Amino acid sequence: MYEIEVRSRAFSDHTMIPAEYAHASGDLSPPLEWSRLPEDAVEIALVCVDPDAPRGTFVHWLLAGIPPDTTALEPGETPAGAVTGRNDYGKPGYGGPHPPPGDEPHRYFFRMYGLSEPSGLARGFSMEDFRLAEEQKVMATGTLVGTYAR
């Protein structure tokens, strides 16, 4: 399996996500860039989760249908043709970090997936929908981890 290199100009791997990309600041998604996607990938998907949430893994962002020639997302951007899934705030698109006050910093995993076939996902899809759709289609992955505390 190929490894996608994922990075952000807003934070480095395993460093603090700036407050402007947090839930309390309006849920503006951070800028992301990636490279080393296999040439034969037909779709890119993005998942952001917090495995440190008090009630178990919290889904912050689901995005599928990203065209394979896309190499970056600007803050707040959803590319043409992409579909947003439902985050655990119950809304489509990105929901920023919002750990309980006083918790140790939570980790936020921004995972990119290169798919060999279209996912077929529709707006409002869930994490479970994504898991079912991506089975046997993932040909590359990459992860950028940010942290956040209040």
Structure pTM?
A: 0.97
* 13/79 Cα distance (integer angstroms): 24
For residue 70, the SS3 value is coil
Going through 52-101 in order, the beta strands assigned E by DSSP cover 58-66, 72-73, 83-84
What is residue 104's predicted lDDT score, i.e. its pLDDT? 97
> Using one digit for the tens of pLDDT, what is the confidence trace for 57-67?
999 999 999 99
For residue 33, the SS3 value is strand
Residues of the chain with confidence (pLDDT) below 50? none
Please report the sign of the dihedral spanned by the C-alpha atoms of residue 141, residue 28, residue 49, residue 106.
positive
* 115/23 Cα distance (integer angstroms): 29
Please report the sign of the dihedral spanned by the C-alpha atoms of residue 50, residue 116, residue 84, residue 146.
positive
For residue 97, the SS3 value is coil
Helix (H) or strand (E) holding 130: helix 127-134
For residue 117, the SS3 value is coil
What is residue 1's predicted lDDT score, i.e. its pLDDT? 81
